[in-house]
């Protein structure tokens, strides 16, 4: 295994453990929404997409996340609004990630969607 691959594996293992031990509150089911977001800041090469995808799955959200060429990360989340708010609060609390700007816009629901993907 190359040293860079070993570093990525260590980071990914850390991210997986962090998401697994995150304490989720008891959520009240509220409005079911879809949000389109673009995160700017230190959001690439820090496990951001993996962490979002794992946490989104734990929160029973669907959607997708992907890196953009300009260094931003784009995502769509679909599910109960309180769970999406929790995900955003959790991501902002991480020290290795720095979200400087967040575009957050409503989007139309995708009824056929069943999973959360890393693109």
Residues 11, 42, 58, 67: which is the catalytic one? 67
CA 31 to chain centroid = 19
**Of these residues, 49, 96, 100, 104, which one is catalytic?**
49
Catalytic-residue membership of 11:
no
Q: Across residues 46-68, what is the average pLDDT?
A: 95
Evaluate if residue 106 carries a pLDDT over 70: yes
SS3 70: coil
Question: For 56-66, what is each residue's pLDDT tens digit?
Answer: 999 999 999 99
The neighbouring-strand residues paired with 104 are 37
Q: Give me the percent of the chain exceeding a pLDDT of 90.
A: 69
Residue 72 contacts residue 48 (beta carbons within 8 Å): no
Length of the chain as a residue count: 119
Q: How confident is the model at residue 43 (pLDDT cuts 50, 70, 90)?
A: very high
49 is catalytic: yes
Examine the pLDDT at 52 and tell me if it is beyond 80. yes
């Amino acid at each position: 295994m190359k040293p860079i691959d070993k570093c990525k594996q260590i980071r990914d293992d850390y991210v997986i453990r962090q998401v697994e031990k995150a304490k989720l509150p008891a959520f009240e089911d509220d409005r079911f929404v879809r949000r389109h977001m673009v995160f700017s800041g230190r959001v690439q090469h820090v496990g951001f997409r993996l962490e979002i995808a794992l946490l989104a799955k734990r929160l029973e959200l669907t959607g997708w996340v992907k890196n953009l060429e300009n260094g931003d990360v784009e995502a769509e989340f679909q599910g109960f609004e309180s769970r999406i708010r929790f995900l955003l609060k959790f991501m902002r609390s991480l020290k290795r990630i720095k979200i400087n700007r967040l575009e957050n816009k409503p989007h139309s629901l995708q009824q056929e969607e069943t999973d959360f993907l890393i693109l």
